[in-house]
Amino acid sequence: MITRVLIIIITLSLTACEKAFIEKDPANEPVENFQILWETIDKKYSFFEYKNINWDSIYSEYRPRVHNQMTERQLFSVLSEMLHHLRDGHVNLDAGFDISRSWEWYKDYPANFNYSILRSSYLKNTYEEKGPFVTQVIDSIGYIYFGSFTKRVEPEIIDNIIEDFSDLKGIVFDVRSNGGGFSTNVEILASRFADKERLVAYNLFKKGPGHDEFTDPQPVHLSPKGSEQFLKPVVVLTNRRSYSATNDFALKMSALPHVTVVGDTTGGGGGTPIYKELPNGWTYRFSATITLAPDKFNVEHGIPPDIQVDMRQRDISRGLDTILETALELIQQ
């Protein structure tokens, strides 16, 4: 009897094999790696329609160039070239030995920022470093330089700066050549300049594999936070290398009535990048959301400033920062 029961149980237990249901990983071969990269981007990248990219024709162009006898570097070269068609600074392929990048968002534009001039003519030897910020007071105007959103912003530090600058005429918030980083920093900073809850952006999220499958635009609001808000004139300085989280910061600040954006159009990068990996261990990232301004302007290719100013060569040779000078003049007025 016990033998019969055991046979039944053992038979039933043989169903306990998930390998029958979960397929093996795709082979680590160039063709499979290409296929997975192309398909994942096809289903989840967010700017095909906005950039008018025909991803199917890109497949037709690049698929014949991939074969299983090619070397890792040859494969990397083909995949990088394919991804380059997305014209997106948030698209990278990391193979360990190299990383593919798109530089178009700032490459052919004026730098509009010179840290040496800033250091020698404005910061001098009297500036202060507060966490990730460099601060200075110039002619009764507070100046903040924030070079990278990759540095975590502690709310207490920005509150402390706002308190120190509360009696000044205004603030110049310089985010030129800030290539982005943690988007969580954006709200911490911008909320210290908000007078009331305001609509500052819309986000659209992918909800299916179709190139146009997005949620409705989801409003993003900014509310005042911190011990004190700075509601006197504020000028935000931007250039083409103000990218990603910095682009988002410029967007949210530009929705505030006492804020003026001066300098050059930002570099853009309005989509939140997500990360994936290939069977060969290479990782890649790409934009998976869309961000719109309150007037539904798509900020992927940058946010134009309220006042366009380029650094003049004559000023540079005299050790002057044309964009910063314009901002100081604007607040003095």
Nearer to another protein, 127 or 249 (CB): 249
In the list 48, 50, 55, 205, the residue contacting another protein (rule: CB under 8 A) is: 205
Q: Which stretch binds another protein (CB under 8 A): 10-18, 50-58, 74-82, 152-160?
A: 10-18
Displacement of CA 267 from its chain's centroid (Å): 9
Which of residues 230 and 284 has its CB atom nearest to another protein in the complex? 284
Return the number of the residue (39 or 228) whose C-beta is nearest another protein.
Answer: 39
Classified as helix, coil or strand, 236 is strand
User: What type of residue is 229?
Assistant: Q
Residues of this chain, 254-273, that bind another protein according to CB under 8 A: 272-273
Tokens 């890792």 locate to: 72
Q: Give residue 93's identity as a one-letter amino acid code.
A: L
| Residue 205, SS3 per DSSP | strand
Q: Which stretch binds another protein (CB under 8 A): 15-23, 121-129, 140-148, 314-322?
A: 15-23
The residue (of 6 and 156) whose beta carbon lies closer to another protein is 6
Number of residues interacting with another protein: please give it, by CB under 8 A.
Answer: 47
Residue 17 or 69 with smaller CB distance to another protein? 17
For residue 84, the minimal CB distance to another protein (Å) is 22
Among 7, 28, 101, 110, binds another protein (CB under 8 A): 28
Answer positive or negative: Cα dihedral of 319, 323, 324, 326. positive
State the nearest-atom distance from the C-beta of 278 to another protein, in Å.
8
Out of 25, 108, 167, 212, point to the residue binding another protein (CB under 8 A).
25
For residue 104, the tally of other CB atoms under 10 A from its CB is 15
Please count the helices (runs of H) and the strands (runs of E) in the chain: 10, 14
| Per-residue contact string for residues 277-296; x = within reach of another protein by CB under 8 A | x-xxx-x----xx-------
Q: Between 217 and 304, whose beta carbon lies closer to another protein?
A: 217
Q: E-strand spans in the chain?
A: 92-94, 99-100, 128-130, 133-138, 141-146, 171-174, 198-205, 218-222, 234-238, 259-263, 273-277, 283-287, 289-292, 307-308
Three-state secondary structure call for residue 181: strand
Q: Verify binding: residue 179, another protein, rule CB under 8 A.
A: no
**DSSP class of 42:** H
CB 181 to another protein: min, Å = 10
The CA distance from 238 to 234, in Å, is: 13
Per-residue interface string for the shown chain with another protein, residues 206-235, x marking contact by CB under 8 A: xxxx---x-xx-x--x--------------
Positions touching another protein (CB under 8 A) are 1-2, 5-6, 8-9, 12-13, 15-19, 21-26, 28, 36, 40, 44, 46, 203, 205-209, 213, 215-216, 218, 221, 272-277, 279-281, 283, 288-289
